[in-house]
Structures are given as C-alpha cells and as structure tokens.
Amino acid sequence: EIVLTQSPGTLSLSPGERATLSCRASQSVSSSYLAWYQQKPGQAPRLLIYGASSRATGIPDRFSGSGSGTDFTLTISRLEPEDFAVYYCQQYGSSPRITFGQGTRLEIK
Amino acid sequence: QVQLVQSGAEVKKPGASVKVSCKVSGYTLTELSMHWVRQAPGKGLEWMGGFDPEDGETIYAQKFQGRVTMTEDTSTDTAYMELSSLRSEDTAVYYCATSSGSLDYWGQGTLVTVSS
C-alpha cells in the first residue's frame, strides 16, 4: 500500500510570502497520477494540480507543482489571503487505487 | 462542465444503512468514472471506492469491503453509495467525485450522522 506523508503538518506564513508544501510517498508514484487539492472549511476539496505539475482549469499561476518518484512539492509563490486552507496530495495507481496524504494546514501568521 | 449534486443530510441509528445519491449534469454518467470519498469531522480525506475503467468494474477500499455498495442508474445519470452496518465512526461528510486519475469534480458533500 502506498502511503503519502505530507509535511509540515501546519505551516504559518504571512500574505505575500512563499509557501512550500511537501508530499513524500512510501514507494514510487507515477507523476501522471499525483494531484494536489485545496480545501476550505465547509467546502468540498478543489483540484489544484494534476499530473504532478499541471494546473487545473482556473487555478492561478502562483500555484505550481513539481517532483517525481517519491518526492513531490506544491509551491504557492506569493500567498494571497484566500490561499489559507488545508492542502492534500493524492495518488492514483496500484492498490489501493487512491490514497491521500494527511494534509497540511496553511495558516496566517 | 460537470456538476454533481448530492442528496441531503441523513441521521441514522447504529446498525442501519444509508444510501447517498449523486446526480450528474453536464455529462452523462457513462462518460465518467465516479468515486466516493469521506471525511470524518476534523479529519482528512478517505477514499472509499469507485469505478475503475481499466478493469471495467467498481473497486472498493479494503476497509469498506462487504459494507459498501456503489451503483449507477444511467437512465437518470445518478450514482449511489450505500453503506451498511453503520457505527458512530461512520459519521462523516460523504463526497462523490469524478476521476481521471485525479478527482476533477466534486459534489457538495452529504453529512451522515450515526447516533443512537
């Protein structure tokens, strides 16, 4: 079973700063099937990044994804107030088909 | 643009079953691979299962095997998730979501509360 571990658990930053979120897999993940989601309180998750580095429709270019193999990163270049939320990585592949990381909470410092 | 509209909140007693629906618009259900994800209060996302187009069948997370059934009514473009033998730990928001590897479109979520 592929386990995704996200770090840090909580990230405290100020608007305008750069955020770097990590997702590490217990075994190699196909880059084609690594995604990132943003979730705000009371809302469904929203797809940000798919295929490790492709932005979903309507996602601002301050969001970028990178990585391969077992190490993946979500970067938010310059934080806006609406970016403070919880972020999840997700892989799709071998059994179990879909797994999520435990999430990183991005909070205002 | 795919839109997914789920059924309303449910309150169930332990041991009962719940069936949540997910109505698709903008596409037909046969064009989509539907999955279900749940989120307990204050917790992370947990995949329950969904349709695997590679195998042509619905696959379930091992944790839910024997307790969950996912079905589709293509005449109404509605997907269903039924969870049986409910216990308090099943209290969660249940989401349907379409998959192309990533989970591209999500329903608004359905809160299922299990309480005696």
A6-29 pLDDT, tens per residue?
Answer: 999 999 999 999 999 999 999 999
Strands B110-114 and B10-12: parallel
User: To the nearest whole percent, how much of chain B has pLDDT over 90?
Assistant: 91
Q: A4-108, superfamily in CATH?
A: Immunoglobulins (2.60.40.10)
What confidence score (pLDDT) does residue A94 get?
A: 67
Work out whether the CA dihedral A50, A45, A86, A18 comes out positive or negative.
positive
CA pair distance A109, A106, nearest whole angstrom: 9
Mean pLDDT, residues A35-62:
97
pLDDT of residue A96: 60
Contact A97 B95 (CB under 8 A): no
Question: Other CB atoms closer than 10 Å to residue B89's CB: what's the count?
Answer: 8
Q: Domains of chain A: which residue ranges?
A: 4-108
Amino acid identity, residue B55?
A: D
Mutation target among B22, B43, B45, B100 for the A interface, most CBs of A within 10 A: B45
Strands A86-92, A98-100: pairing kind: antiparallel
- Contact between A92 and B101 using a beta-carbon 8 Å cutoff: yes
In chain B, positions 47-106, which contact chain A (CB-CB < 8 Å)?
47, 50, 52, 59, 61-62, 95, 99-104, 106
Token readout for A25 is: 């897999």
A90 contact residues in B (CB cutoff 8 A): 45, 102-103
Quick one: pLDDT at residue A93?
80
Q: Tell me the average pLDDT of chain B.
A: 96
Compute the average pLDDT of residues A83-108. Answer: 92
Find, among A76, A81, A83, A72, the residue nearest to A25 by Cα: A72
Q: Indicate yes or no: CB of A98 within 8 angstroms of CB of B35.
A: yes
Find, among A54, A63, A64, A51, the residue nearest to A91 by Cα: A51
